[in-house]
Amino acid sequence: MTSDLQGALRKLVTTLDALAVPYMIGGSLASSVHGIFRSTNDIDVIAAVREEHVAPLVANLAQEFYADSDAIREALRLQRPFNLIHFVSGYKFDIFPATGNPYFEKQLERAVPQEVSLGEGESMRCSIATAEDMVLAKLVWYRAGGEQSERQWNDVRGIRSTQGARLDGTYLRQWARYLGVEDLLERLLSEQRPA
């Protein structure tokens, strides 16, 4: 299965690079890079996809992915995510359009190329959200889910525990305020770390 994921991710990343679309991997895959590994069947990608990219994106991915150009155009119009589904593995890639969203645009600026472990000894290098941006994104998802998801909270705990003092507190607080999760960030940072 990891070979399928690597192939799917490589195809998507290669296509975005060929179209000169800035992108970064987010979600559980990125939080695993900065914190504690957790498997997932959904890969989050923030990408500066615009209308002119839709036709070549779909054409390049059509043999390996389900990609609906009308649905993508509508998602871009509404500034909402759209899905690409890899036929062989069933992996779902949730693409979050970055254009017009100041926070997504900032995340893209800060993203760094890193080696991503895909499990079973497989990995590949691609653009990844920073640890700080993963904490913020996970806090936003945690709040959106009614603050019920232990998986999201454990992901941010894992990042905090792994990254420790390397986390940029000033950046975290600035964007937490903007995103409306300042209270959750303070709760996370004030939690006792396990001995």
Check: CB of residue 31 under 8 Å from CB of residue 149.
Answer: no
Q: Which helix (H) or strand (E) holds 108?
A: helix 102-110
123 and 154 in a single domain? The answer is no
- Higher pLDDT pick, 110 / 120: 110
pLDDT score for 134: 94
Spatial contact of 128 and 78, defined as CB atoms under 8 Å apart: no
Residue 195 lies in a domain: no
Confidence band of 1 (pLDDT split at 50, 70, 90)? very low
| Domain closes at, from 106, 129, 152 | 129
Structural domain count, the chain:
2
Range of the domain at 44: 2-129
Residues 90 and 162 in one domain: no
Q: In sequence order, what are the beta bridge partners of 25?
A: 45, 128
Cβ count within 10 A of residue 143: 16
Residue 82, token pair as written in the block = 């759209």
Amino acid at residue number 82: F
Q: State the Cα–Cα distance between residues 57 and 49, nearest whole angstrom.
A: 9
Contacts by residues 145-153 (CB-CB < 8 Å, ≥ 24 positions apart): 147/184, 151/38
Residue 180 domain-assigned? yes
Whether 70 and 44 share a structural domain: yes
Mind listing the pLDDT tens digit for each residue in 33-89?
888 877 776 889 999 999 999 999 999 999 999 999 999 999 999 989 999 999 988
**DSSP code at position 164:** G
